[in-house]
A and B are shown apart, each in its own frame.
Chain A
Amino acid sequence: NAGVTQTPKFRILKIGQSMTLQCAQDMNHNYMYWYRQDPGMGLKLIYYSVGAGITDKGEVPNGYNVSRSTTEDFPLRLELAAPSQTSVYFCASRDRGRRNTEAFFGQGTRLTVV
């Protein structure tokens, strides 16, 4: 079972470059999330989506953009990479309908901006 798949697993960017982090889920979940995690810390919410065509900002959206054209895919775009965006990025999805549903996570993308 695939669950939540993130690509790439690792990436090094130069300052000012752009890239898209891919996230796909095969569980037909409506809710999807992007988090960033700095070393030894918790997860900070960047953006989330409650369904195709609907996205909302989280705690730390500056410097990022998202789109949700299908239920399965939720890519995260970095337009002008900065060293402050060096982090591990996690995509997650969960079912809607009940507030206490389990979030399933991808394995993360480790991004370094130099």
Chain B
Amino acid sequence: TQLLEQSPQFLSIQEGENLTVYCNSSSVFSSLQWYRQEPGEGPVLLVTVVTGGEVKKLKRLTFQFGDARKDSSLHITAAQPGDTGLYLCAGALDSGSARQLTFGSGTQLTVLP
């Protein structure tokens, strides 16, 4: 059982469309991060959210941390082919060892020109 579940697993959209990716858990996290991974490369950090209800914007990307710190979402406005990649959420648990960084199951996004 995956501690962090992402949905959808695959998403293929046309350039210019909007989309939302979800990251859900039954556990409470002290922080959640979103990474993007391109083929043949390691993941690269996009953003970190630490406060329940927090919203962060990075150009056309909007990240939200749930009020209870159990879930997060990533919204992309007017998607572009350059947004194509594997999006991963990652969390440090609120209880026990916050040093253990757990990743979600991933969302493979394809933006068609």
Interface residue ranges, A against B (CB under 8 Å): 4, 31, 33, 35, 40-45, 48, 50, 56, 58-59, 90, 92, 94, 96, 99-100, 102-103, 105-108
Interface residue ranges, B against A (CB under 8 Å): 2, 4, 6, 9-10, 30-31, 33, 35, 40-45, 48, 50, 86, 88, 90, 92, 97-106, 108
- Among all A-B residue pairs, the 3 with the closest Cβ atoms: A105-B42, A100-B31, A43-B103
Contact B101 A103 (CB under 8 A): yes
A58 contact set on B, CB distance < 8 A = 100
Q: Which of A4, A40, A41, A96 contacts B99 (CB 8 A)?
A: A96
**Can you list 29 A-B pairs, Cβ within 8 angstroms, ordered by A?**
A31-B101, A40-B10, A41-B106, A42-B2, A42-B4, A42-B6, A42-B88, A42-B103, A42-B104, A43-B88, A45-B101, A45-B102, A48-B99, A48-B101, A56-B97, A56-B100, A90-B42, A92-B42, A92-B101, A99-B92, A100-B31, A100-B33, A100-B50, A100-B92, A102-B33, A103-B33, A105-B43, A106-B42, A108-B42
**Known: A42-B104, A42-B106, A48-B100. Is A103-B45 also a contact (CB below 8 A)?**
yes
B43 contact set on A, CB distance < 8 A = 43, 90, 103, 105
Residue of A35, A90, A99 with highest tally of chain B CB at under 10 A: A99
